Amino acid sequence: MQGVYCTQCGKPYPASGTPFQCTCGGIFDFREFPRYSVQDVHKNAPGLWRYFNLLGLQEPVNPVSLGEGNTALVPISESAEDVFVKLEYQNPTGSYKDRGTAVLMTFLKSRNVDYAVEDSSGNAGASFAAYAARAGVMARVYVPESASGPKRSQIEAYGAELVAVPGPRSNAAKAVLEEASRGTAYASHAFMPMGLTGIATIAYEIVEQLGKIPGTIISPVGHGGLLYGIMRGFEAVVKSGFAQQEPFYLGVQSKACNPVARAFVTRERIVELPSGETIAEGVKVSNPVRGDAILSHIRRTQGKMSVIDEDQLLCAYHELADLGFFAEPTSALAYAALQQEINILPKPVVLILTGAGAKTRIS
């Protein structure tokens, strides 16, 4: 994998194997993303594979694809000229996770992985199960026992073994780490950096769809891979000379679980916090892997973190549906933050709708 290194000790990613962490315990990341260039876009290739030269993959590879990417960017209402929604639930398994999973699974296949594990509150697990099936890779997914029924059914439908772990989301993470410690490939959407270049294609698409860099990006934050990948994408666009500055980034967390937002306000390091209950399953992450990276980027670009309570979230969920967007509650965090922060946001504003509403049962 080109350009991947340990953020703690600086070692490059090994030329063989699929470790999710460095031997020193550090996290892997890209030192530099490939710079965005119109000349590097394969206009006749499907979906995110138009950006193959920007994905960090070493040829020759055979892409593992289900048609991910190229999702719609539409005005949030007929009267809104400067607020748009990026419909990431149009991806094959109904969430943005497919972008990262497609690139990660392509990488794993290039290293001859035939069995892998993942942990997830639902969307990442469903995406992993689908792309594993596509690639002919045996899959096991650890989920918290509280994961929604539709997401669990989706994981099992693709043929993956589902292991429901009692207790909080962190218990599922502990269970998968135990198996990974025995040498099993851990296809972690949180730790493995390969998927970040897939997520970055959201930024490239938005630039092409708007014809410019947006004024604001609003995104939910769980482990942080979504917003961080988008940030790295826009950073690559700016470094290419296409634009002068990145968007204003507004990261959003639930009041029930907001370690990144809390650290942003207190100007301290992220501290693992116990997670309360929230219908936004995708952000119930008490110890986010990309949290420090997001904080650093938000502070550098003078962005902001916002916190939404359950009443605001539920109202936003129903209001989005009234506008014609049946999105999961995690997506509704972005809409609630738009309403809360509208007066400070540079235009145009783009909200990332992360996943489909049918994946979660809400009364």
Alpha carbon separation from 106 to 59, 291, 314 (Å, rounded): 11, 26, 37
| Ranges under pLDDT 70 in the chain | 1, 363
Residues 97-186, CATH architecture: 3-Layer(aba) Sandwich (3.40)
Q: Is the bond preceding residue 220 a cis peptide, omega within 30 degrees?
A: no
Rounded to the nearest angstrom, the gap between the alpha carbon of residue 253 and the centroid of all alpha carbons in its chain is 14
Task: Please report the pLDDT score of residue 363 as a whole number.
Answer: 64
- 186-220 b/e (C-beta count within 10 Å ≥ 16 → b): bbbbbbbbbbbbbbbbbbbbbbebeeebbebbbbb
Q: Which residue has the tokens 């398994």?
A: 93
Instruction: Report d(CA 272, CA 337) in Å as an integer.
Output: 23
C-alpha closest to that of 337 among 263, 270, 280 = 280
- The answer to whether 126 and 158 have CB atoms below 8 angstroms apart is yes
Strand partners, 6: 28
* 65-69 CB contacts, 8 Å cutoff, 24+ apart: 65/102, 65/134, 66/92, 66/93, 66/98, 66/102, 66/130, 66/131, 66/134, 67/92, 68/92, 68/98, 68/99, 68/101, 68/102, 68/198, 69/99, 69/201, 69/205
Q: How far apart are CA 147 and CA 361, in angstroms?
A: 11
SS3 category, 162: strand
Non-local (6+) Cβ contacts of 70 within 8 A are 46, 47, 48, 50, 205
CA atoms within 13 A on the CB side of 67: 6
- 74 Cβ contact list (under 8 Å, min separation 6): 84, 85, 87
Residue with tokens 């490059």: 12
| Token pair 């509280």 in the structure block, residue | 146
The DSSP line for 249-294 is: EEEEEETTB-HHHHHHHHTS----------S-GGG--SS-TTHHHH
| Residue 90 DSSP code | G
Domain boundaries, the chain: 73-95+193-359, 97-186
Beta strand 248-254 pairing with 304-308: parallel
Fold of 73-95+193-359: Rossmann fold (3.40.50)
Backbone angles phi, psi at 122, to 5 degrees: 155, -65
H-run or E-run covering 116: strand 115-119
Please calculate the CA angle 296-300-302 and round it to the nearest 5 degrees. 115
Q: Which residues pair with 115 in a beta bridge?
A: 138
What six digits make up the tokens of 200? 């970055």
pLDDT in tens, 141-174: 999 888 888 888 999 999 999 999 998 888 988 9
Are the CB atoms for 294 and 231 separated by under 8 Å?
Answer: yes
